[in-house]
Amino acid sequence: MRRVGMLTSGGDCQALNAAMRGVVKCLFYSGEQVEIYGFYDGYRGLIYGNYTMLTSRDFSGILTKGGTILGTSRTPFKTIKDPDPNGLDKVEAMKANYKRLNLDCLVILGGNGTHKTANLLREEGLNIITLPKTIDNDLYGTDMTFGFQSAVDVATNAIDLIHTTASSHGRIFIVEIMGHKVGWLALNAGMAGGADIILIPEIPYDINSVIGAIQKREERGSKFTILAVAEGACSKEFAAMSKKEQKEAIKNSRYPSVSYDIADKIIAATGIETRVTVPGHMQRGGSPCPYDRVFASRLGSEAGNLILQGEYGFMVGIKNREIVRVPLEEVAGRLKSIDPDASIIKEARMLGISFGDE
């Protein structure tokens, strides 16, 4: 009898259910006896022993369902070793619940913070397998994370819809795309949606260059401009600040986000009506796109295969379109950001897209 625990941690996204379904289908179709324990609300469920036993029926019909049937929560890695308000040692509690259920392994689906805690549990002696979940596509060791392509589809649709009103009214529109630390989502959605200017965290912008790009479009007869702005985009001045200075600047800003700051500066310089649209959490919602359904199923299947082989301590990812096993210690704490000199950036520039830096 194999006893497998499973949890989803961090922000939700499309294809979490599809990935879990892939794991379970692989295990049940192997013919071995398996018990699946689902922990509710991420690491919180593992800490406080809030779980349920699941059967194959629980995973039927969820391939196309967004969100997560187990629920999720954020349990920051930076405080994972701090006692809870009642003095409970969270790490020891997770280990105790794992051992109390006599689990053979724990399958964890999540992003960067989730993987740090997963690797900590591996170091504490637990058998861990992880699956790469995040719409930011910023996990090291894998070319793609599930949820990313679905989020690109949502963000691209938002830009597509903005195009008609922008062209009708001759306005400038800023579409703020999720991505605090990396710009994969803004870059891909911006290119797919035909944005004229794309601002991402990896390439700090000069507001004068942004305004210059808009004015050049006006000179060529373009009546409108679309900007795809990652929520973590920053000016060159901001990027040059220390972390302490950056925190103070954010704290003292009168704007809810960088997009509104940029909009005000554009209006002041050009006099053109500029609006901000924020798709927000819609980018994480809805059904997974077909790509993510297939991709998450492949990852889940390989995770199930690792369990059957008794091989633990890996994240299941993808490299060059092939599913791979990546040691957890190589993933935890590392961010996959965009190289400003990457070919996709150069190709975008050749299309006339401005990144506000030149």
Active site residues: 136
- Rounded to whole angstroms, the Cα distance separating 137 from 177 reads 13
- Rounded to whole angstroms, the Cα distance separating 29 from 66 reads 24
- Rounded to whole angstroms, the Cα distance separating 225 from 234 reads 20
Q: What is the 3-state secondary structure of the chain?
A: CEEEEEEECCCCCCCHHHHHHHHHHHHHHCCCCEEEEEECCCHHHHHHCCEEEECHHHHCCCCCCCCCCCCCCCCCHHHCCCCCCCCCCHHHHHHHHHHHCCCCEEEEEECHHHHHHHHHHHHCCCCEEEEEECCCCCECCCCCCECHHHHHHHHHHHHHHHHHHHHHHCCEEEEEECCCCCCHHHHHHHHHCCCCEEECCCCCECHHHHHHHHHHHHHCCCCCEEEEEECCCCEHHHHCCCHHHHHHHHHHCCCCCHHHHHHHHHHHHHCCCEEEECCHHHHHCCCCCHHHHHHHHHHHHHHHHHHHHCCCCEEEEEECCEEEEEEHHHHCCCECCCCCCCHHHHHHHHCCCECCCC
CA distances from 210 to 59, 225, 237, 338, 350 (A): 48, 11, 14, 20, 17
Nearest to 19 by CA among 109, 117, 142: 109
